Amino acid sequence: MRVLGIETSCDETGIAIYDTEQGLLAHRLYSQVKLHADYGGVVPELASRDHVRKTLPLIKEALAEAGLSGQDLDGVAYTAGPGLVGALLVGATIGKSLAYGWNIPALGVHHMEGHLLAPMLEERPPQFPFVALLVSGGHTQLVAVEAIGKYRILGESIDDAAGEAFDKTAKLLGLDYPGGPRLAMLAEKGNPDRFTFPRPMTDRPGLDFSFSGLKTAAANVIRSEGNDEQTQADIARAFEEAVVDTLVIKCRRALKETGFKRIVIAGGVSANKRLRGALEKLMASQKGEVFYARPEFCTDNGAMIALAGALRLAKEGSTELSVKAQPRWSLESLAPIA
């Protein structure tokens, strides 16, 4: 089954074509970073307009790269949520319209299910069951995954997501948008012994997260210690280590609770080198395995949507007639597939 994937949930337009027998055939990604940089964050209306401009040209490029036409496809998958409702509606409307014109099924895909399944695009995909750590700008979740669609939320952030905390702290440090990756780069120059930040909610049982207090702790140090280059780097290092340690502690608890020996990390923050190294060390100590996607498939992309859509369309088909867009959508509400 060949499926066109369309991702327009936020500030990246991702297009891909995935074949269930041959794998990924084409992949295109356009980032709106320059568009939103002057505002220090994503402006929803501008994001939607840019998706309108970019989606169809990128689809044409992907089809040309794969040497296919619309008539060669078996389905269209588009991100139906969670995300910015205007941006979601762009991809949903285009995807549904193309599918109608080509007389093939279209399916709305859960954005976080796409992230969760992205490591399956790699040569060594994870086997079920596993614990998934989903860490992005909008989500921080621990999920027990027994099969596609069989998800149980073990814990999630009660305020800022990890990626959101990275971006906000980077902004406090005066770093340009997008701040998270820039903070991680700055942290490489930092002294790990100068500052120590709290590891929030690790002194109590449970698997939920909270990063707003950590951000406040960083803000207090930034105000009191000045803002020279080395101090910035030292604060970035302490902040990054606090986030990584917190995530690893909660992952260890989730593995103990489930008894699973595999962990998958996905979402934009899963590209963080310190987090990957810490989880590799954790799983080595437990004789387990850790899986993640290559960096280009950690951020929002069309490949993960095409993959998730292909797996679902191959098993359950689609009878949807209306355009589907859900800004909020629980993973646990998804139907399992055999």
Strand pairing category for 106-110 and 289-292: unpaired
State whether 159 and 280 are in the same domain.
yes
Q: What is the pLDDT of residue 319?
A: 61
**Under a CB-based contact definition with an 8 Å cutoff, are residues 241 and 192 in contact?**
yes
Of 151, 159, 170, the residue nearest 222 (C-alpha): 170
> Per residue in 269-311, pLDDT tens?
999 999 999 999 999 999 999 999 999 999 999 999 999 999 9
The residues with which 131 forms a beta bridge, in sequence order, are 144, 263
Nearest residue to 95 (alpha-carbon basis) of 109, 111, 83, 114: 109
> What is the three-state SS of 56-105?
HHHHHHHHHHHCCCHHHCCEEEEEEECCCHHHHHHHHHHHHHHHHHHCCC
Q: Is residue 50 part of an annotated ligand binding site?
A: no
Q: Are residues 197 and 279 in the same domain?
A: yes
Residues 91 and 135 reside in one and the same domain: no
CA pair distance 192, 268, nearest whole angstrom = 24
**Per the annotation, does 111 bind a ligand?**
yes
Q: In what order do the strands lie in the sheet with 150-156?
A: 150-156, 140-147, 130-135, 262-266, 289-292
Residue with tokens 């093939």: 104
228 in a structural domain: yes
Residue 206 gets the label, from left (phi > 0), alpha (psi -120 to 50) or beta, of left
| Sequence-ordered list of residues with C-beta below 8 angstroms from that of 214, at least 6 positions apart, any chain | 165, 197, 198, 200, 239, 242, 243, 246
- Is 338 part of any domain? no
- What CATH number is attached to the domain comprising 70? 3.30.420.40
CA geometry: angle at 262 spanning 204 and 198, to 5°? 30
> Residues 167, 137: contact at Cβ < 8 Å?
yes
Which residues have CB under 8 Å from 43's CB, separation 6+?
36
Q: Are residues 236 and 276 in the same domain?
A: yes
From 277, 292, 307, the end of a domain falls on: 292
Residues 323, 231, single domain; the answer is no
Q: Rounded to two decimals, what is the model's pTM?
A: 0.95
Pair (164, 76) in one structural domain? no
The pLDDT tens digits along the chain (338 residues) read: 999 999 999 999 999 999 999 999 999 999 999 999 989 899 999 999 999 999 999 999 999 999 999 999 999 999 999 999 999 999 999 999 999 999 999 999 999 999 999 999 999 999 999 999 999 988 999 999 999 999 999 999 999 999 999 999 999 999 998 899 999 999 999 999 999 999 999 999 999 999 999 999 999 999 999 779 999 999 999 999 999 999 999 999 999 999 999 999 999 999 999 999 999 999 999 999 999 999 999 999 999 999 999 999 988 777 667 888 999 999 999 999 87
Strand arrangement, sheet containing 23-31: 23-31, 12-19, 2-7, 75-81, 106-110
CB contact at 8 A, 163 and 298: no
CA distances from 318 to 4, 230, 294 (A): 14, 55, 30
Q: What single-letter amino acid sits at 60?
A: K
Q: Is residue 77 part of a domain?
A: yes
Q: Where are the alpha helices (DSSP H) in 188-228?
A: 212-225
pLDDT, position 322? 81
Q: Could you tell me which of 337, 274, 332, 319 has the C-alpha nearest to residue 108?
A: 319
What is the distance between the alpha carbons of residues 196 and 177, in angstroms, rounded to a whole number? 25
Does one domain contain both 70 and 29? yes
Shared domain check, 218 and 259: yes
Q: Does the annotation place 322 within a ligand binding site?
A: no
Length of the chain: 338
Count the domains in the chain.
Answer: 2
Give dist(CA 134, CA 263) in Å, integer: 11
In this structure, the answer to whether residues 134 and 271 fall within a common structural domain is yes
Specify whether 143 is located in the same domain as 287: yes
User: Is 174 inside any structural domain?
Assistant: yes
Is 115 assigned a ligand-binding role in the annotation? yes
191 has binding-site annotation: no
Query: What residue numbers bound the domain in which 319 lies?
Result: 2-117+297-333
CA 243, 249, 250, 252 torsion-angle sign: positive
134 is in an annotated binding site: yes
Amino acid identity of 330?
S
- Any domain includes 64: yes
**308 assigned to some structural domain:** yes
Residues 172, 244, single domain; the answer is yes
Residue 193 annotated as lining a ligand binding site: no
Q: Is 38 annotated as a binding residue?
A: no
Q: Based on the domain organization, do 326 and 248 belong to the same domain? A: no
E strands, 125-236, are: 130-135, 140-147, 150-156
| 135 has binding-site annotation | yes
